[in-house]
Structure formats: structure tokens, C-alpha cells
Amino acid sequence: MNQNTVMIETELGDWRRTHYSDRLSPQMADSDVTVMGWVLSVRGHGNISFMMLKDKEGEIQVLAKAGSCPDEVREKISRLKAHSSVGIKGTVKPSEKAPRGIEIIPKEIRVFSEVEKIPPFEPYAKTVKNIDTRLEVRPIDLKRKSLQHIFKARSKILQAIRNYFYENGFLEINTPKMIATATEGGAALFPIFYYNKEAFLAQSPQLYKEQLTMSFEKVFEIAPIFRAEPSRTNRHLAEAISIDVEEAYVDYNDIMKRIEDLIKISIKTVNDYFKENTDSEFITVNMPDKIPQYTYSELVDKMQKVGAKTEWGDDLYPSNLKKIGLSGFYFIKDWPIGPKPFYVKMSKSDPKISESFDLMFGDLELSSGSTRVEKRAELEERMKNKGLKIDAFEYHLRAFDYGMPPHAGCGIGLERLIMSLTGTENIRDATFYPRDVDRLTP
């Protein structure tokens, strides 16, 4: 190639990547490759420029040296700023000090987008304190190694959870996210215009997944839920991902066993990921032989014994859970029936309690589940007691006229599960684009 006639292209054209960074090795010495990614850094030393290129699998060192590559290519590389998107055609050479023991001697470069603006924070810094600053340019923030590991682990966990459901005969479903009535009553709803009617964003797929047990017996859904709760904490979102399960001919004890299986699978998955990615700096999560179960009444007694101000029927607040020293994963079961939604089944042994549970990690609630009411008359009675309009739920109730099976289920908050498995302190770093009481963009 004539070094004085090289054109610096800016379009992809017929260029296609031949290798990701993790596929390059010293055994490929003298091979010609095409790599693409973002500029991490450029360092110049006289007639030599070093460029670090990052793709989704890692880093690649590019060595542009006078006499070894075209002058125009070397000069262009020397002027590039971090985050510019580029493609390089070049030759692989061994280099002990470079990532994966190789570097690329460039022959051609295409600059797909050249960056002039400096980000408001250093994206490759280990920590950036102001989360709002980060969220304003979230795609740049998500380049940070710590977040890359969180979301790659998240993807592996979702894959493992889906595999579990498929292997155990569950059908993946998708239920409406625009609904006519509140699933559970209450005011924590986002109203929307639906043609000429008022509708709401779904708080959960609860009623639909119950109905679908009549058709398919075992169903699951991984999808958004919407809660208009004005909470400004590091564990609440207005839009979250829920892993929902519903199964026919079982009760809440069977669903707790399902959750125990899912937690063990998730722990193994995330621990395997951390072992393969030693730079992740996450702590290995302990695998429980069995997730402990405590009744609501047991924990109220424990709280009272340590002087916590709580009475039977009160919610179990995080501050009180901390006082009795509960940690790791555990279930709280047999909650009072009073505050529970209308579809939660009453205990046969005690009308004051319900066949329900919460899965906890320390003081963080990850999941709620229960045995469901399967008889229409009982559902209607529960609705009346809660002041709900029975007519508004006729679309749901009519299914119970045609042989609704006994069934149970739960919903697991994916973001909170990721927090517990990766040690993430702020739930906004467990979702790509957080939605909360203060944030509707980006």
C-alpha cells in the first residue's frame, strides 16, 4: 500500500468485524484482522502512537509506528479522543505487555464517529459518586466496568431462570400492561388515556396469570410492572422487572420450594460468572442448604423480646428486622390476612392468617407469594370486605365459573434480586434506565 494515498473513511461500507478482542491470541501472529470498538485512550511518543480499543469483550492494543503503518493512519490515531467509534484493519503481532499478549499493527482505519465532547465524569473510573450525573448520560455510564459486570451477570441469571422454567414444564406468557382496573386496589397506579377511556399501567400480571393456569397449568412471565409509589429510596422504582410464576394444583409451600430452586440456581450462576471474571470485584454469595422459614408471629415475638415497638398485625419494618439480626435469604410466612390482597387464601387452621410469604434478603423484600383463592363466592366476599367494586372485576370473576384449579404463585423483583446477588447498593444500578418519582429521562 502506498502510505501517501490512504483515505480515512467514515462509513461502515463493506467493513465487518472479523474478531472480538477475546478471540485474538499470540497464535494468530501475522494474521490480518478487522476489529471495531471505542477508543479508550491514545498515547503518543514521537513517531509512535498507542491506542487502546474496547469492544464488548475486552481491550485491544493498537500500535501505530512510523514505518510500520501508513502515516495518515498513525496521524489520525494520534488525534483521536476517547469514546470515538472506530474500525481497524491490521496485522496481529505478539506483545507480552499488551492485553491477551497481542497488539494490532494498523493498515487502515475508519472513524465512524469522532468525539469532541468530554463526558461530565470519567466513564472508566472505578466509582463516580453522583448517580444523577451518571444517569444523565447513562449509555456512557454503562461503559464502566462495575456496571458491565452487573448487567452481564444479570443476563446470565435471567437465562438460568428461564432455563429452569422451561425444564420444569412452564410456559412463558405475556400479559396486558394496559388494564381497566387495579389488580390489588389502592392508589399506586399510573393512569393513562386509552382511546376515550381511562386505563392504568399494570401493577402486576396477577389476575391474568391466575386465569392462564386454567389453560396451561404452569406459567411464568418476566416483564415490567408499574407502581406509582412516591418513594425516594435506594430500593424503589416506578418501573421494575418482575419474575412472575403461577402454578395449578399446588399451594404456597410448593411455590417457596420453587423460589428456593431459583435462588440456588441464581447464586450458582452469579458465582460462576464472578469466578470467570476475576476483575469483577464482587463477593461470592453463600449457597444456603435450605432457605430458613419463619412465621410472622415468630418474628413479632422476637422483635418484642428485643424491645422493638411492634404489635401483631403491624408490618415488619426493615429497622425492626435489623434488630433481630436476620441476614441472608429467608422466608417470612403466614402473614395476617387483613392487609393481604383479595386473591390471597385464608389459612384453614386460623382465619386471622393467610397462606402467604415474603422472600427476604436481610431487610430487603425480594418476593411475595401465596396460595390463591379459587372459588368465586369467596373472592366476591373478600372484594366486598375491601370495598372493591365487584362489577369492575367481572372479566376476571367469570373465569371462576368454569373450574378454576387450586393454584399458587409469586412475583420476584429482578432488580432487588440482582442487588442481593451482586452487593449493589442502589437499585438504579440494577436497571438500564431507571424510572422513579424524580426521573422520566433519559
Annotated binding site for ATP: 227-229, 235-237, 365, 413-416
- What residues contact residue 212 under an 8 Å CB cut-off, 6+ apart? 173, 175, 219, 246
Residues in the annotated binding site for L-aspartate: 184, 227, 368, 372
- How many other CB atoms are found less than 10 A from the CB of residue 166? 12
CA atoms of 439 and 441, how far apart (whole Å): 6
Residues in the annotated binding site: 184, 227-229, 235-237, 365, 368, 372, 413-416
Residues in the annotated binding site for Mg(2+): 365, 368
- How many other CB atoms are found less than 10 A from the CB of residue 25? 14
